[in-house]
Structure 1
Amino acid sequence: MNASPLRRPDPANGVPDERASKVQARRDQVLTAAVECARTAGFHAASMAQIAKAAGLSVGQIYRYFENKEEIIAALVAREAASTREALSRIDRSPGPLLDTITAHLPEEIDRCLEPGRTALRLEILAEAARNPAVAETVREADARETALSAQLMARLRRPEWSDEAFQARLEMVGLMFDGLQTLAVRRPEVDGQALTGRLEAMIGLLFAQD
């Protein structure tokens, strides 16, 4: 009699999905703890033991989900990148002229840049990237992907007479404005985001106006 074939889990019974959901929940638990540690002590000072304690896990447990601190930071960068991709996708899917759509989304994006917790985390990641080559590579790769997506979207506003350099310079200026908002959130936490909307709208309009 032939041996019975190895029985594989049936995806329909939900077991694999349930296991994956539990793993993701545990990873999210670790990431939340890492963010807490970064905000209080900075990533450079936060150890895996401190992150494990903040997550309510043992150090051994935390290593089941992340190999090291750099991998935790990479997961946080990926999560932020996913949020950026979704924001760009919403703009891309919206009907009507692109500049009008960008203007409509500006208040939301300004609020994201001025949100204290998000700003603190991004600045901590950048600070760690300045010290840690592995984190720097992760940040640069994510930035390159985000820049490519932005260029693909904003190409709809490109003028035929603009060189690649001129178009890229305009993209960089838009990026610098939003990066500047994050440092402004630290320097002047009382800043009125609504008051900035009109200024940014005008500046973006000028950048992409015909020369």
Structure 2
Amino acid sequence: MKEKSKRQTDPALVQARREQVLSAAADCFRRKGYHGAGMAEISKTAGMSAGHIYNYFASKEAIIESIIEQDMEKLFSIFQEYEDQPGDLVTILLDGLDYAVEHHTDVNQGALDLEMFAEAARNDKVAEQLRKSDCYAREKMRNLLLSERSLIKDLSATELESRIEVMFAMINGITIRKTLNPHVDKAMLLLALRPAMRVLLIPF
């Protein structure tokens, strides 16, 4: 009995089970949409009972919130790398476009992102989570662009925010472009994106 209790409360096991559910749910959301993927479908894909899933997530909404939280953790890691990496900030951010474009041209990731955006249009809680994530990303970028290494640290607050919004619009828009034009690829996008982004990272 004690051994069973230990297995159930082992943090590593709990985390592994949560990851298993999140991966299965993401797959279901991509294939069938948020509303089309019920807990029965998610449990089947995850290979565990719906009752077992409820030990880790209170609802389907809690699952999608956790998926968004995972994305926030990835963002934290990426921006932390930017902050810790020595050297020219413009070069560091332009080099980071490789990962950003690869992420946003990934068909599976794009399908999941679009599904979450669609759910946000009708679900205030999901919308709040996505806006929180976006706010966090903009704050981290703002901090980088106000640092001593930035060439545009002396811009007015309004102009700095304007540039950040355009940067994010270009990156986030890649998902839609990939959906509408499946033939677009990373190399093609980077050809124009790098010089366009460079313009926003230096004084006009």
- Superposed pair shares fold, TM > 0.5: yes
- How far residue 158 of structure 1 moved from its aligned partner, in angstroms, is 5.6
Select which of 108, 114, 121 maps to 2:112: 121
Please say if 1:43 is aligned against 2:43: no
Select which of 180, 183, 187 maps to 2:176: 183
Q: What secondary structure is seen at the aligned counterpart in 2 of 1:131?
A: coil
Which segments of 5 or more consecutive residues in structure 1 lack a partner in the other structure?
1-14
Alignment-derived partner of residue 141 in structure 1: 132
1:1-211, aligned counterparts within 5 Å? 19-156=10-147, 157=150, 159=152, 162-211=155-204
C-alpha separation in 1, matches of 2:153 and 2:101? 30
Query: Relative to 1, partners in 2 of residues 1:20 and 1:174: Cα closer, same or farther, differing over 3 Å?
Result: same
Q: Deviations over 1:71-97 (max 9, x none)?
A: 100110011111122122222222211
Which segments of 5 or more consecutive residues in structure 2 lack a partner in the other structure?
1-5
Alignment-derived partner of residue 3 in structure 2: none
C-alpha separation in 2, matches of 1:200 and 1:49? 42
Query: Relative to 1, partners in 2 of residues 1:160 and 1:105: Cα closer, same or farther, differing over 3 Å?
Result: closer
Q: What secondary structure is seen at the aligned counterpart in 2 of 1:57?
A: coil
Percent of aligned pairs sharing the same letter: 32
TM-score of the two chains, using structure 1 as the length reference:
0.86
| Code of the aligned partner of 1:159 | I
Contact 2:94 2:197 in 1 (8 A): no
C-alpha separation in 2, matches of 1:40 and 1:196? 27
| Code of the aligned partner of 2:197 | I
TM-score of the two chains, using structure 2 as the length reference:
0.89
- How far residue 100 of structure 1 moved from its aligned partner, in angstroms, is 1.0
| Code of the aligned partner of 1:201 | R
C-alpha separation in 2, matches of 1:158 and 1:71? 41
Query: Relative to 1, partners in 2 of residues 1:160 and 1:67: Cα closer, same or farther, differing over 3 Å?
Result: closer
Once structures 1 and 2 are overlaid, which stretch shifts more, 201-210 or 29-38? 201-210
User: Which is greater in Rg?
Assistant: 1
Q: Give the root-mean-square deviation of aligned CA atoms.
A: 1.9
C-alpha separation in 2, matches of 1:133 and 1:108? 30
Q: Deviations over 1:4-41 (max 9, x none)?
A: xxxxxxxxxxx69x800101111111111101110111
